[in-house]
Amino acid sequence: MSRFAFFCCLPLVGCASSVVGEWEGECSYTVSGKLFSYQVEVEVDDVHKGEINGTGRVTADEMVSTGVLDGSREGKDITLEVTFTDGVNEQEIFELIGEVDGREILGDFSLGSHTGDCELERED
């Protein structure tokens, strides 16, 4: 019986940690009809009981902001928040609400007054 329980738990462990790692991508937004984008990098260090921890970095026009990543995951639904501790966006929050689909996270983001679509891909 203990072998059966062990094998049943393995897929659950894999699912819970599937967002751990490095993710990179682009988050696009429009201002006055012109398309702009942020280059986004997040490193998820840990997922424990659906709570996500790590670091994040957002770059726009060579201006870099870095901060602490907090978030949550329930099934495919994911919320990531980077509270910037350094850079041009210091003390602001980047938020991504989306879904995990294999090696991609697709969703909507906000940073200050900018909102738009975001797509991140797993790098490792």
- What are the residue ranges spanned by the domains of the chain? 2-122
What is the distance of C-alpha 101 from the center of its chain? 13
Among 6-10, 16-20, 91-95, name the most confident range: 91-95
Give, for 69, the enclosing helix (H) or strand (E). Answer: strand 63-74
Exposure string of 42-78, with b = 16+ CB inside 10 Å and e = fewer, is bbbeebeeeebebebbbbbeeeebbbebbbebeeeeb
- Confidence category of residue 17, pLDDT binned at 50, 70, 90: very low
Helix/strand/coil for 16:
helix
pLDDT tens digits along 64-92: 999 999 999 999 999 999 999 999 999 99
Alpha-carbon distance of 24 to 71, in angstroms, equals 16
Residue 51 pLDDT = 96
Query: How much is the pTM?
Result: 0.84
Task: Give the CATH class of 2-122.
Answer: mainly beta
Residue 7 pLDDT = 38
